[in-house]
Structure 1
Amino acid sequence: MSSFEKNIPVIHGFSKLNRRQKIELLKELTKIDKNLQETLDSWLPKSRDEQDTFEGFIENYITNYHLPLGVVPNMVINGKSYTVPMVTEESSVIAAASRAAKFWAEHGGFQVKIGGTEKKGQIHFTWDGDKNLLINHFNTLRKRMILATEPVTQKMRERGGGIMAVRLKDKTSLLPSYFQIDVSFETADAMGANFINTCLETMAQVLKNSAGDLVPDGNIEVIMSILSNYTPDSLAECTVECGIEHLSKWSGELTPQAFARKFELANRIAQTDISRAVTHNKGIYNGVDALILATGNDWRAVEACGHAYASASGSYRALTETEIS
């Protein structure tokens, strides 16, 4: 161990300290505000029950972090008007969203189509035997895996969901001996993370237990069984449309026609140039993330999936398209 490493203090047992003890230790280590306890306490809720709820969410809790919540009125989606909550620290996001919502509400609103709601999960495993044996016996394996999950999927199937497809994918061109069982799910109105992972873990156990009698001339090692946040078949398409003459409200010194051409070209640049595409999509997620945060959902998963989808063609590109007709 280097002398540099020896001089780095390592804290042991921090998670076992109560909140006050954690704060006292932080004061000692950081030498910051002597009123740290009072500052952190000022952000606590008055209700003990609420406080217990917050403390139960995360490890090493010391206080709450407040962000402002605002609303965007006039959000007309498929002919129905909504008031949309948003949580953000960026002052212009809700202002811009509100102006846009009002403009499009006067021009037919947002038209949204759901293209699919399929979610995915995978069993990642290695197989060191003849891959043709694995492929030839996979139909039997598939049936055993689906049968084993029936107690887990029963209620979901009653709601119209469940396991939709189970596929074996040969990934040996990417990594030696690497295979994947790709499973498609419908989870009705649920996010379905626990449901999907439970199904995958059950199926992985069947894979391990069945390998010996179905494909004895090789070894299967399950690396992980887990849902994927990449859901390219869970899609929503949103469109807006107006006459070019209505853009005079935004065109400034330009004619509406010149403004529309410039707007369309800016979108095409974001389709072809990664430097512009990243910033373009960040602007989209200013609003998306704010809504996801306000509704208590997983904005990290939404962002990761969206940026992966933006790269699906092989290069990162804008998530929007503009057409002048």
Structure 2
Amino acid sequence: MQESTSSSRISSFYKLEHQQRLEKIAEFLGESDFSQDHFLNTGNTEFQTVDNMIENAIGTMNIPIGVATNMIIDGKDRLIPMATEESSVVAAVCNAARQCRATGGFYTHTSEHIMIGQIQLIDVINPMITKQVILENEHDIKAICNDVDPLLVKLGGGFKGLEVRVLDDGHEYNIIVHILVDTCDAMGANAVNSMVEALSPALEGWTSAKANMRILSNLADKRLSMARATWPTDEIGGEAVRDAMLSAFRFADTDPYRATTHNKGIMNGISAVILATGNDTRAIEAGAHAYACKTGQYRSLSSWGIDKDGNLCGSLELPMAVGLIGGATKVHPTAQQNLEILNIDSADELARITCAVGLAQNFAAMKALVTTGIQKGHMSLHAKNIAVMAGAKAHEVDKVTELLVQSGKVRIDVAEEILATLRHKSG
């Protein structure tokens, strides 16, 4: 590909039609493998919908959607759509769920739907007096916030509480005002952000301080989801496997280097459900990893132990700010279909299901690590991807995959050699 000599300064790119945007890109790139036709195909989502979701849209990127089976959550069988590009994530959840069906599957709990809006006040003259003045005006604060979204209040949500914190940032004292908002079945970012912006002028008037930052916090630690499950010892391979998994948990809980990958495995499952339902993966991930530091050290989000019969018991707790109203959840047609598969009526149900999937994923990853090893567990699915990357056609993929796994060397160069040998023999 030759280096482009065009300028990336394209005036009013957002005003162009779909085809015109692609033509501009082709012009910028010059001679390249860029395909306008590829981006003209937006699959089962009309380009107008895509264009309304983000700026300067040119197309879509399809992510595979799989369905996790075998899940029982709070006594109800569920099928769980998961959107992910990572091999074995869906299979891992299916296997983990199958192995705890005998003990009733997953049991879940959620707290209230409380989101936190933050207002940073700077140029504070007397922090403690300022704090009290704000608290004295809680009644008016509630009225200002609720006037922003009367429908939310009508549904039982709206302003539910006030917190005022004094922070010393090393330069000056900041007053941090938290409004606590029940967002019902919405994730709530738009409602909360609108409230803190509407409240800021009044706070400035009462305190003579300046409102600087006004934004929702994604550390939604007043909107927690919990899941637990029990795996019979004989279902998971005996006491030796159980004890190895418990040791793996303790390792993750005490070492941040291990905890990071341990929690990433949990989020493999959670983020796949969040993405499939059109929710905000970045918000959930940020909140989860911040919550993992709640003791002052980054630790495991999950907890593992044994019951009186010696069975393996796991639990998971983390913030889960999800919604069924607003954003891509309501706009994206595939997200809507995935919600149909889940067959849910509330954001609370979605939070419970998602947390259960995260626990299942964690179980599967730990078990693989202490038994076959993560690579062997991934090998067959990863080998299929490598076979395709090597150029295998549809009728060749299974055979190349099989021979790759047998070789124990799941690499693209090995796949290319296998493919060339097969084609030579068939030729």
What TM-score, normalized by structure 2, do the two folds share? 0.66
Question: Which of the numbers 249, 255, 263 marks the counterpart of 1:273?
Answer: 255
CA contact (8 A) 2:82 2:276 kept: yes
CA deviation digits over 1:20-71, x for unaligned, max 9? Answer: 3332232233345356212322x23488xx2211121111111111111111
1:62 counterpart = 2:86: no
* 1:66-145 superposed matches below 5 A: 66-145=62-141
Query: Using the alignment, how far apart are the partners of 1:135 and 1:61 within structure 2?
Result: 46
Change (3 A) 1:296 1:173: closer
1:104 deviates by: 1.7
Aligned 1:278-293 pairs, distance under 5 A: 278-293=260-275
User: Is the Cα–Cα contact under 8 Å of residues 83 and 276 in structure 2 kept in the other structure?
Assistant: yes
SS in 2 for 1:106: helix
One-letter code of the match for 2:18? R
**Counterpart amino acid of 2:253?**
Q
Q: Structure 1's 19 and 207: CA in aligned 2 closer, same or farther, altered over 3 A?
A: same
SS at structure 2 position matched to 1:197 = helix
**How many corresponding residue pairs?**
302
SS of corresponding position for 1:321 = strand
Corresponding position of 2:9: 11
Identity of aligned residues (%): 32
Q: Tell me how far apart the structure 1 counterparts of residues 183 and 146 of structure 2 sit (CA, whole Å).
A: 14
Q: Please report how far the alpha carbon of residue 12 of structure 1 lies from its aligned counterpart in structure 2 after TM superposition.
A: 3.7
Q: Are residues 1:314 and 2:293 paired?
A: no
Structure 2: gaps of 5 or more residues: 308-427
Partner of 1:253: none
| Cα separation, partners in 2 of 1:32 and 1:316, compared to 1, 3 Å | farther
Contact kept in structure 2, 1:120 and 1:227, CA below 8 Å: yes
Amino acid at match of 1:38: D
The 3 A distance-change label for structure 1 pair 63 and 136 is: closer
Tell me whether 170-179 or 28-37 shows the greater mean CA deviation.
28-37
CA distance in 1 between counterparts of 2:127 and 2:107 reads 47
Match of 2:227 in 1: 238
Map residues 175-190 of structure 1 onto 2, 5 A cutoff: 175-190=171-186
Partner of 1:38: 37
Quick check: 1:171 aligned with 2:167?
yes
Structure 1 vs Structure 2 CA RMSD: 2.2
Counterparts of 2:250 and 2:229, CA distance in 1: 17
Amino acid at match of 2:99: F
Change (3 A) 1:72 1:137: same
> 1:51–1:132: structure 2 CA closer, same or farther, 3 Å change rule?
closer
Unaligned runs of 5+ in 1: 1-6, 249-255
Asked if structure 1 preserves the Cα contact closer than 8 Å seen for 2:71 and 2:98, the reply is: yes
TM-score w.r.t. the length of structure 1 is 0.85
Structure 1 window deviating more from structure 2 (151-160 vs 117-126): it is 151-160
Distance 1:33 1:23 in 2: 13
Superposed CA deviations along residues 198-231 of structure 1, whole A, max 9, x for unmatched, are 22112112112x33xxx5xxx4211121111111
Which of 179, 191, 198 is matched with 2:194 structurally? 198
